[in-house]
Every structure is written in structure tokens, then in C-alpha cells.
Amino acid sequence: MRRVDEAVREVLGEAVTHDLKDPRVGFVTVTEVRTSPDLRQARVFVSVFGTDEEKAATLEGLRSAHGILQAKIASQLRMKRTPALEFALDDTAEKAARLEAIIEQAVEDPEP
């Protein structure tokens, strides 16, 4: 299953950066794909750089382009089924930055 997830992630990452012309889609990185065991659904996690409004607009742009992206998967990967795509924000980088700031602050100002 991991190989399928990784292959879909690579195809989507390439398609998002090179094939989509939607102005709503900003700076996007496809970070992870999780397909269901029957390959009917795929949850696509994306990291988006920008404000909350830009992130929402990017997600809306990706959702509207799901047909194009599914067609790209179908044409590049030999799969029995092409999964329906569901996009979700991956906030791992933001959480890591917050945690890093907390650790840095704790190191600079240790409590007695």
C-alpha cells in the first residue's frame, strides 16, 4: 500500500506544480497520500504557504481540479481503480515551528 501511496503522491506533486493553471492554487507541496484499502478513496495532505485565506483558496482550487488530477493519475499509473481525491491541509510544519519556538524560549529563559 505504501508504494501506491508514494506513486500517487509523486504524480500529484508533479501535476500540481506543472499542470494546474488555477490562480487560486498557490505554493503547494503534496506531503502525503493515504489510500483506502480498496483504492476507492485517497486523502491527499498538502502543505500550503500563505495566509489562512490563501490556504482556503488553494484547497478550493485543488478540489475544483480533482478531475484533472484524477485523470493524470489514471494516465500515469496502471491501477484497477483511480481513487477519488480528498484534499486536507497538513499543518505538521506549523506545529514543528511552534514547538521549536517553545523549546528555544525554554532554553533562553530556563525556570529555576
CATH architecture for residues 2-108: 2-Layer Sandwich (3.30)
State pLDDT tens for residues 9-44. 999 999 998 888 888 888 889 999 999 999 899 999
pTM: 0.81
Structural domain boundaries of the chain? 2-108
Strand order in the sheet with 84-89: 28-35, 41-48, 84-89
State pLDDT tens for residues 46-101. 998 888 898 999 999 999 998 999 999 999 998 888 899 999 998 887 788 888 88
Cell 492554487 belongs to: 25
